[in-house]
Structure 1
Amino acid sequence: MAARTQSRRTSRPKRQPARRILVVTEGTRTEPQYVEGLNRYLRNAGATAVVKAVAVGKDPMKVVRKCIEIRDKAASNEKDYDVCVCLVDVDQHDALPAACQLAARESILLLVSNLKFEAWLRWHVEDKRSTLSTTQLDELTEKLGLVTKKMLAPTFPFHAVHSACEIARRADPELESGRIGPDPSSAMPILVDLMLGR
């Protein structure tokens, strides 16, 4: 009997260490709130990512540089991140192409939302791909009950993330890191896959 118990213990699979993901965002409210809320939702569903969201502000080049700074500091303390991700909007940033190049050189995943992050939020509740202005997107996400004054709604439908991923992939079949997709588009499914351990 003791031998059987011993063999069961040795055959049990080892638990995988949690993947450490650094996410640096351009937005200072909505994006970090979304990433943290999604992380809680996915962890409850069995995902094993440890996500640190850091908000920087409106310049994509600053976002990438901040990501490099945090990554390198963590590495010097032997607390490496497995993956580093930056979330930026197209908006009207002249620095976006240079930020894409820097991120690629530094092996950082730069995930672009066109026109902005709210396009991704919208896809959690409706499968529509009309081109909207930044003001129209803000008004729509408020009307849909997703965001109020740049704060994510407490009842945000994180459970719809998989549908949002499907819509995003249909909107941009060539979706990838460092690419500015059509309007509207978002490369957020890449982060979702990372958080799910794919």
Structure 2
Amino acid sequence: MARDNSPKVRQRQQLERKLARRASHDRILIVSEGSKTEPHYFGEIRQTYRLHTANVEVRSSELGTAPAQVVRYARELFEFGNMHKSIQPRAFEQVYAVFDRDDHDSYFEALEMAESLDGKLKNDNKQFVRFQAVASVPSFELWLLLHYENIQAPIHRDDVMRRLKIAIPGYEKGARHAFSSTRQHLSVATRRAQALAARFDARSAPEPFTAIVDLVDLLTRLRPEK
């Protein structure tokens, strides 16, 4: 009997293979404020640890870079998906909205929005979903700088960038290979970020803080697929 090799059958077979390769851990959606810096960083972690896109999806906000817009887009992408990007509706157990304090007017609103969504949305398995804000004060680059300096006092984002460029010559926002460039100091940065978290939180601005450490720890603990 001839095998049905129609486009619809091939598409279904590809989807089935993709789902079969899916690891047993939670499906994670990461939506970032930045269009390059954070996606490149988390994408590099995903590649380094061979995490399948069926489990870890990294996208930048398409509604804008304001923190509230990042949270709204993360919710919309979770609820409605994006068929053009092969993202199914409600196909995640954990959703993370990544944004900076900087001088954003909607920063605290975004924190409240994310908190109000945590444990309130259900996924395609009828499970309540973890919805978390991943904030940095003043910016994502604080996390990278902690790989080289023990920052424990308020610091302006411009000063963070200046000092980071000394530690990583040529570093610019949107640069690739930030994870591989800093990975050897990851344990040091983790301890420093955790020390900050013991003193401050996302609402303690202008005190330095970054929850990037928690997201990095989550991703680096995921095991490669068999």
| TM-score of the two chains, using structure 1 as the length reference | 0.77
Query: Residue 123 of structure 1 contacts residue 164 of structure 1 at CA under 8 Å; is this kept in 2?
Result: yes
In structure 1, the partner of 2:92 is 81
1:54 paired with 2:59, answer yes
Equivalent position to 1:172, from 192, 197, 201: 197
The within-5 A match list for 1:26-105 is 26-41=33-48, 43=49, 50-56=55-61, 57-74=64-81, 77=88, 80-105=91-116
Gaps in structure 1 of 5+ consecutive residues: 1-14
Question: What's the CA shift for 1:26?
Answer: 0.9
Query: Kindly tell me: are residues 127 and 147 of structure 1, through their superposed partners in 2, closer, same or farther at Cα, counting changes over 3 Å?
Result: farther
1:139 paired with 2:139, answer no
Question: What's the CA shift for 1:88?
Answer: 1.1
Question: Relative to structure 2, which stretch is displaced further, 24-33 or 181-190?
Answer: 181-190
SS at match of 1:140: helix
Partners of 1:21 and 1:87 lie apart in 2 by 13
SS at match of 1:70: helix
AA of the residue aligned to 1:54 = R
Partners of 1:127 and 1:97 lie apart in 2 by 26
Partners of 2:200 and 2:194 lie apart in 1 by 7
1:148 paired with 2:171, answer yes
Partners of 1:22 and 1:70 lie apart in 2 by 9
Query: Kindly tell me: are residues 34 and 77 of structure 1, through their superposed partners in 2, closer, same or farther at Cα, counting changes over 3 Å?
Result: closer
Query: Kindly tell me: are residues 66 and 146 of structure 1, through their superposed partners in 2, closer, same or farther at Cα, counting changes over 3 Å?
Result: farther
Identity %: 22
SS at match of 1:31: helix
Query: Kindly tell me: are residues 143 and 165 of structure 1, through their superposed partners in 2, closer, same or farther at Cα, counting changes over 3 Å?
Result: same
Question: What's the CA shift for 1:147?
Answer: 6.1
Query: Residue 145 of structure 1 contacts residue 153 of structure 1 at CA under 8 Å; is this kept in 2?
Result: no
1:187 paired with 2:211, answer yes
Question: What's the CA shift for 1:70?
Answer: 0.7
Question: What's the CA shift for 1:175?
Answer: 6.3
Partners of 2:168 and 2:97 lie apart in 1 by 26
AA of the residue aligned to 2:78 = R
In structure 2, the partner of 1:119 is 142
Partners of 2:169 and 2:204 lie apart in 1 by 23
Question: What's the CA shift for 1:172?
Answer: 2.1
Give deviations 1:88-118, integer Å, cap 9, x for gaps. Answer: 1111122112111111121120011001111
Partners of 1:69 and 1:115 lie apart in 2 by 26
Query: Residue 71 of structure 1 contacts residue 80 of structure 1 at CA under 8 Å; is this kept in 2?
Result: yes
Q: CA RMSD in A?
A: 2.8
SS at match of 1:24: strand
In structure 2, the partner of 1:157 is 182
Question: Relative to structure 2, which stretch is displaced further, 19-28 or 121-130?
Answer: 121-130
